[in-house]
Structure 1
Amino acid sequence: MVRPRWLSAQRVTASRLWRHWDRAVALWAGLNLLWVLFDITYIPLRTFWLQRNLTPLPQVPLVVPLTLLPDITPLYDPVKGIEPHRETEAYLAAFTQLDEALQAGSNAETIAALSRRQVDLTVAMINENPFAASGNSGTLEKIKNRLRQRAGLESAKQASDRLLSAAWLEQRSWREERRFWQQQVLPLVATSYWRSIDENGRPTDHVWRIDLLLFQSVFALDILLRMLRLRRRFPGLSWRDALLRRWIDLPLLLPFWRWMRVVPVVERLSQAQLINVEPLRAAVSRAVVSLLALELFEVLALQLVDGTQSLIRSSQWPRWIRSLRSHQSVGGADEQQLVDLIRLWGPLLLGQVTPRLQPELQSLLGHTLQQQLLEVPGGAIVPAGVSRQLAVGVVDSLLGLSRGTAERLARSDDRQSALLQQAIDRFWEELAASLEQPGTLERSQDLICALLQQLKLDYLAQMNRAGIDALMDELDELTAPISSAEPPATPPA
């Protein structure tokens, strides 16, 4: 169960060794999470790690080189079962030979043979599409489009034949053509690869070995140590319950869905006081409450009103009212509760509250008498002082009667208590009998249920998201800490 924030419980202070261990494991878990994110995105971003450059605008040949990044593909490709593709490797090797022959000024027959072989390899690459094995068929389309644009032809095969023909190379400098091939074509060809398949028919992936050896073993040891610490604090705690208390750490041991490790990693970093997630937790909590509050309030309101309507439509109201009588009540200690309440509040209202309202009652009664005299023929000639004096006399008499009644109610009189109890029982009996008259109960139930139905419709119509947001803003204002810039209030002298 989550401990409320307002409950300031005393926590057992961990030793310095355990604190260092928890921080080390939290940092190790954070490193593991970064590695998991890198591993998940390695295949989609392998072209970036291979070429180490950015293309902010794909439609514009603008390349931002990132030479400071190391080439990690030779180290990580074997982990993912990636090997160079034979066709693209042969294509790159053949172009290297052609490039060396053109730069060395070899004879025309050698250059023509190497050019023809390069054209044949380009045609074979277009026909067989080695990029489909790695899911990068769009790379081949980029190569074909760049060949067409360079040669000014509609066919990529004919474009490669023209770009490597002797007539084309005689008209243009090989240095310019070489720059085109090395910057526009060969980097795309180099992105092709072949990935092996394991015995289960899935792409080879040796990540689990690294994860198990370097990370999961440490996490398993830490979970075991945490369980031991829990059992030391609570000797009666079983191993199963200790493990269930650390359920949040279980994603650290799962070989699949490793992205779920973000939850235990954040929890460990927060417990180790390396990060502060309370503002983020509060923001997420506020968003969730804002989304669910409207639906929750509507459901609760509907259930409350519907339950009240069902209770009101019951035909057992006369029997329930009669059960309130003293001789029908269950439990001897509860029989005198209503009588005791009247004996407590009667003197309070009649002896203390009502006499303090004497000026207001006199003014109200005097004004009422004056208005009634105006409606009587000849009453307008009656002076206002007469109605005021009459009102003072009536109020004084009533207040005197009120004080006397309060004094008598305050006395401990068994006969008075019995009479009061008898009056209350008579009231319940007469009320039940009145409701049993034909049509009275049904009509009353219909009117009250109609009132509740209208209240339900009006309440749901007024509830909206803006109202919930206003409530959340008011809650923030009430729970927000007072700014330190405001001076504290000075207590009165």
Structure 2
Amino acid sequence: MAIIASVNLCLALFDLSYVPWRDFYIRHFPQMTQIYDPIKSIEPHRETENYLETVDELTEQVSQTGLQSPQVAKKLEELSRLSTEMINSNPFAAANKSGTLEKIKNRMRNRVGAKSSSKQAFSVFWSQAYLSKRGWNQEIDFFDERIRPLIIVNYYRSIGENGEFLDKFWRIDLPFVILFGVELLARSFYIKRQHPGFSFFNAIFWRWYDLFLLLPFWRSLRIIPVVIRLDHAQILNLHPLRQQIHQGIIANFAEEITEIVVVRVINQIQGSIQRGELKHWLSQNENVRSYIDINNINEVEAIGAILVKTIVYQVLPKIQPEVAAVLRHNIESIIRQAPIYRNLQSLPGLNAMQTQLSEQLATQITTHLYSAVVSATEDPVGAKLSSQLVQRFSEALGTQMQEKHVLLEIQNLLIDFLEEIKLNYVQRLSQEDMWKVLEQTKQLRTQLSVQPVLDKNSTVLMRRERS
């Protein structure tokens, strides 16, 4: 169907271009115009057609009786009259080719040297005296090469009762429209069966772009479904174009959307502070705090407990040698700076004793500290006392923060601080190049997609080397 749609699009584009490009077609493909002119209700204009027929009759008469015969003089007089009528009536206007008539008049004036009147120029040209003086063959060749092609492109196009030009292209287009309509209905029924929740209207608009193939107007828009069909058939690769369009849309809307989101969040925080909710946040009374708990778990305390256990049982044992090394270095530095050590430094074996003493002290300190931390962690009484201390500290801090003058000052400072963030952030955001941000995002995605491939290749190479 993609190929059939492409053929239909080519026919539609040719039909749209036929009238504007008819001059080109009639000069290079005259057989084509003889076939397609009836489709567009185009026929030779009677006046210009009669003019060219009279010229042909003149040529035939000259070949039979000679240029100076009375029959030729009569034909020349008729052509002079027809030239005047053509200039006065302008039969080219109906085909929107008045410029062609002006070109004919200019060429005729330049040929005979008449600078004022085009009618006089035609009268001189179609005279026995002029043709005898300049040569019949030379002048009739000029007419056939320079004037006839301009006259022959003129045409008459029939007009319907609605005032529009008659166009029979629908006869060519109708079989394609029927085919595309049947395909759209069949595809819509199939989509509706696959998705029972869809209405038939939604199923049709699942492939909304196919509707352009059914419209008898705006035929140039058929390029949209044709290109999409060719892409689905993998005849064209439109991925780079789609990506560029998506980036353009995102670049146009990302800045405004980001600004709106940031400003709304800051405005909501400012509104909460102005409504006095800061006092509720600082309060430890559960009845005052309107906080929604979904699992009856204090997530902050749970996270803190997990972090403490991880640090005590997993992190500290691994870094204990490094901690001991740091303590040993500090102890050695303190001993060397002591005045007694300086006086006894010359005694033999003192350096070894100092090193051994530093190692023992560092090891004992780190061991006792780690044991104290583990004991404090595992001691329920100590944990309870620590929790009470933290809770009491929070309550005391919250109580003092709720003092009227302190709370009011903090609220004003927070509101001003948020306003400054809003102004400065939004200004920097508007000045930032969204295309540059999108390009950086694209590069990041490319790096992330390439990295797994590199890791996989490295693993394969390592396995081969081991084997």
Q: TM-score, normalised by structure 1?
A: 0.75
Offset, 1:43: 0.7
Work out the CA distance in 1 between the residues paired with 2:263 and 2:40.
61
Offset, 1:397: 5.2
Aligned: 1:211 with 2:173: yes
Offset, 1:283: 2.1
Offset, 1:95: 0.8
Counterpart of 2:428? 458
Letter in 2 for 1:447: F
Letter in 2 for 1:35: L
Counterpart of 1:63? none
Contact 2:188/2:200, CA 8 A, preserved across alignment: yes
Identical residues among aligned pairs (%): 27
Q: 2:98 aligns with which of 130, 134, 137?
A: 137
Work out the CA distance in 2 between the residues paired with 1:127 and 1:354.
107
Q: 2:14 aligns with which of 12, 16, 38?
A: 38
Counterpart of 1:104? 64
Letter in 2 for 1:463: D
Counterpart of 2:155? 193
Contact 1:326/1:335, CA 8 A, preserved across alignment: no
Offset, 1:312: 3.6
TM-aligned CA distance change 1:350 to 1:252, over 3 Å: same
Counterpart of 1:15? none
Letter in 1 for 2:412: E
Please, which moves more after superposition, 414-423 or 339-348? 414-423
Offset, 1:324: 8.5
Work out the CA distance in 2 between the residues paired with 1:76 and 1:145.
31
Correspondence 1:158-237 to 2 at 5 A: 158-212=120-174, 214-231=175-192, 233=194
Counterpart of 1:56? none
Work out the CA distance in 2 between the residues paired with 1:348 and 1:467.
38
TM-aligned CA distance change 1:219 to 1:88, over 3 Å: same
Work out the CA distance in 2 between the residues paired with 1:439 and 1:399.
48
TM-aligned CA distance change 1:295 to 1:47, over 3 Å: closer
Contact 2:282/2:401, CA 8 A, preserved across alignment: no
Structure 1: gaps (5+ residues): 1-24, 53-68
TM-aligned CA distance change 1:99 to 1:478, over 3 Å: farther
SS in 2 for 1:303: helix
User: Deviations along 1:226-282, whole A, 9 cap, x unmatched?
Assistant: 2343455456655434333343322222111122222223333444x3x433x32x2
Q: 1:416 aligns with which of 380, 383, 386?
A: 383
User: Deviations along 1:368-414, whole A, 9 cap, x unmatched?
Assistant: x999xx9xxx9xx999x99xx99x97997588446533443356x48
Q: TM-score, normalised by structure 2?
A: 0.78
TM-aligned CA distance change 1:418 to 1:336, over 3 Å: farther
TM-aligned CA distance change 1:257 to 1:446, over 3 Å: same
User: Deviations along 1:305-332, whole A, 9 cap, x unmatched?
Assistant: 3234224422322212436869955548
Aligned: 1:296 with 2:260: no
Correspondence 1:441-452 to 2 at 5 A: 441-452=411-422
Offset, 1:483: 11
TM-aligned CA distance change 1:466 to 1:247, over 3 Å: closer
- Which has more radius of gyration? 2
Work out the CA distance in 2 between the residues paired with 1:482 and 1:112.
93
Counterpart of 2:462? 491
Please, which moves more after superposition, 432-441 or 174-183? 432-441
Counterpart of 1:48? 24
Residue-pair matches, total = 437
Offset, 1:156: 2.1
Offset, 1:428: 5.9
Work out the CA distance in 1 between the residues paired with 2:194 and 2:294.
48
Q: 1:430 aligns with which of 397, 400, 407?
A: 397
Please, which moves more after superposition, 421-430 or 113-122? 421-430
Aligned: 1:404 with 2:372: yes
